[in-house]
Structure 1
Amino acid sequence: MLTVSVVVPAWNEEERIADCILNATTQSVAPLEVLVVDNKSTDRTAQIVSDFIDAHPDTPVKLLHQDKEQGLIPTRNYGLDRAKGQVLGRVDADCMLRPNWVEVVGNLFDRDPQAMGATGPVAYYDMPAKELGLKGDNKVRKSVYRADDGRYLLFGSNMALRASAWKAIRGEVCRDKADIMHEDVDISLHLIDHDFKTVYCRNMNAGISARRMDTSFPSFRRYMQRFKNTFDAHPQHTREQKPERTLYAIYPVLRAFYPVYQKYLESADINPAERVWIKEQMELFHQREQEMC
């Protein structure tokens, strides 16, 4: 199996970063490294990661600092440039990887030498009905997140690149100093420019927060506009389906329900990120316990 690095850009993520790196290291196959790239956080993000490393010295978590420039893209690039794995995972700091994520990703690229980028569905851990949501997200991403002749677009919260592919496109990816594009879609289109294969794997699962839906409609609309802006910056690429149409359709319901459900979680003292893969984590724990007997 190929080695996998997990890169986590982080800015003011003290609420979820510990859960994120715990999930990234609680895996059926250990990642080569988990690189948390702090981007001038003003909260306790860096301290929490440092404390985690001190408390778990055997885990491959490393804390990097990208202090030269504020922004996701330079922070993402900083981490990917320094990752040593044959495959480079890139997830958000509120992302919870399923306990077999590293194994699935490493095997996927190992079995398919032509695969240069991969992505999969996500479950929204701070909303109810995880399994139903995962199935729905799988259906939408598999059918709608495509460009040109059906090439899959990668999703930044749950994506991986072959290291050689990143090196090939590193000098070409858009800098987007105006911050108006989807950086994951931009990466996808640069991969397609090289005729690199991108694949979709329904077993490559991660949990993410639905907090994007807890924004005002003008803010949400600006976020959705990023799809068009990204394709406008790449006029040689086309798309038949527009994911933003689906997201616009579900926004009113999720916008109304999200804060209500958060109050329930708070009143019940539930950490949804902690329990999103609890069943799978327990299965992994029992498996390892039996192997030790």
Structure 2
Amino acid sequence: MLNVSIIIPAWNEEERIADCLMNATRQTVAPHEVIVVDNKSTDRTCEIVEQFQREHPEAPVTLLHQNDEQGLIPTRNFGLNAATGDVLGRVDADCMLKPDWVEIVAGIFTEDPQAMGATGPVVYYDMPGKKAGLTGDDWIRRHTYRADDDQVLLFGSNMAVRATAWHAIAGEVCRDKEDVMHEDIDVSLHLLSHGFKTVYSQRMICGISARRMDTSFKSFHRYMQRFKNTFDAHPDHWREHHTERRLYAMYPWLHALYPVYQKYLAAKDVNPAEQIWFSEQIKLAKKDFASL
């Protein structure tokens, strides 16, 4: 089976990076490596990663520093270029991978030699109604998150690319100096330009934060404009569905609910990032203990 590297770009992520690393390393199949790429953080992000390395010396966690340029894209590229796995997973520093994520991703690329990129649904771990939310996100991604006659678009918080495919497009992906595009869709369209196959798996699940819904409508609107900007930058590609229309419809109630639910979590002293896969992590820990 192919091995999987996990790349985590990070800028000022002290609140969630330890939980992210715990979920990335406690997997049914161990990752080949977990690379945190710090991008000039001014908080305790690096200190927390280094502490995690000391407390978990068996975990294949590496901390790299990308200090040449501020921004997600150069930081992402730095990590992907440094990775040595057969498959390169890319998630955000506040993402919580399901405990079988590495196993699922390795299986996707091992079983389908033509697969060059893969993605799956996400669940908002800091919102209520997680099962319904996951079902809804899965529907949107299966039916609308597509381009070029139903080709799958990758989602940056939950995506993986075959290493050979990444190195084929690494010099072509847009730098987006103006920061107006969706970098994950840009990667997807470059893959499709090469005729590379992208796939979607309902089992490739990642927990993410709904914190973007806690922004003003003006900020949210600018973020939604990135869909159009990205396709405008790639006129050879097209889309039938506009995913942002559904996200606009969801924004009002998610924007209203998010701060209320955060107060509820705080009152209950619940860390939602720690709790999202808690029962599955307990089962995995018991299995590891039984095998000793």
What is the TM-score normalised by the length of structure 2?
0.99
Q: Which residue of 1 aligns with 2:74?
A: 74
Q: Which residue of 2 aligns with 1:111?
A: 111
Q: Which residue of 2 aligns with 1:12?
A: 12
Q: Whole-Å Cα distance in 2 between the matches of residues 3 and 96 of structure 1?
A: 19
Q: Which residue of 2 aligns with 1:142?
A: 142
Q: Whole-Å Cα distance in 1 between the matches of residues 37 and 290 of structure 2?
A: 36
Where does the alignment leave 5 or more consecutive residues of structure 2 unmatched? none
AA matched with 1:125: Y
Q: Whole-Å Cα distance in 1 between the matches of residues 284 and 51 of structure 2?
A: 25
Q: Which residue of 1 aligns with 2:172?
A: 172
* Structure 2 counterpart SS, 1:250: helix
Q: Whole-Å Cα distance in 2 between the matches of residues 130 and 291 of structure 1?
A: 32
Give the CA deviation at 1:290: 3.0
Q: Whole-Å Cα distance in 2 between the matches of residues 259 and 242 of structure 1?
A: 27
Q: Whole-Å Cα distance in 1 between the matches of residues 37 and 243 of structure 2?
A: 29
Where does the alignment leave 5 or more consecutive residues of structure 1 unmatched? none
Q: Which residue of 1 aligns with 2:88?
A: 88
Q: Which residue of 1 aligns with 2:274?
A: 274
List structure 1 segments (4+ residues) > 3 angstroms apart after TM superposition.
none
Q: Which residue of 1 aligns with 2:153?
A: 153
Cα RMSD of the aligned pairs, angstroms, is: 0.6
Give the CA deviation at 1:287: 2.3
Q: Whole-Å Cα distance in 1 between the matches of residues 128 and 3 of structure 2?
A: 34
AA matched with 2:154: L
Q: Is the counterpart of residue 54 in structure 1 residue 58 in structure 2?
A: no
AA matched with 1:287: K
AA matched with 1:93: A
1:64-115 Cα deviation digits (max 9, x unpaired): 0000000000000000000000000000000000000000000110000000
Q: Is the counterpart of residue 202 in structure 1 residue 202 in structure 2?
A: yes
Q: Whole-Å Cα distance in 1 between the matches of residues 268 and 126 of structure 2?
A: 13
1:10-47 Cα deviation digits (max 9, x unpaired): 00000000000110001000001000000000100011
AA matched with 1:288: D
AA matched with 2:159: M
Q: Which residue of 2 aligns with 1:255?
A: 255
1:153-209 Cα deviation digits (max 9, x unpaired): 000000000000000000100000000000000000000000100000000000000
Q: Is the counterpart of residue 98 in structure 1 residue 98 in structure 2?
A: yes
Give the CA deviation at 1:289: 2.8
Q: Which residue of 2 aligns with 1:129?
A: 129
Q: Whole-Å Cα distance in 2 between the matches of residues 236 and 99 of structure 1?
A: 38
* Structure 1 counterpart SS, 2:116: strand
Q: Whole-Å Cα distance in 1 between the matches of residues 80 and 283 of structure 2?
A: 31
AA matched with 1:20: C
Q: Which residue of 2 aligns with 1:25?
A: 25
Q: Whole-Å Cα distance in 1 between the matches of residues 276 and 282 of structure 2?
A: 12
Q: Whole-Å Cα distance in 1 between the matches of residues 291 and 203 of structure 2?
A: 24
* Structure 2 counterpart SS, 1:69: coil
Give the CA deviation at 1:282: 1.6
Q: Is the counterpart of residue 246 in structure 1 residue 246 in structure 2?
A: yes
What is the TM-score normalised by the length of structure 1?
0.99
Aligned residues: 292
Q: Whole-Å Cα distance in 1 between the matches of residues 55 and 278 of structure 2?
A: 21
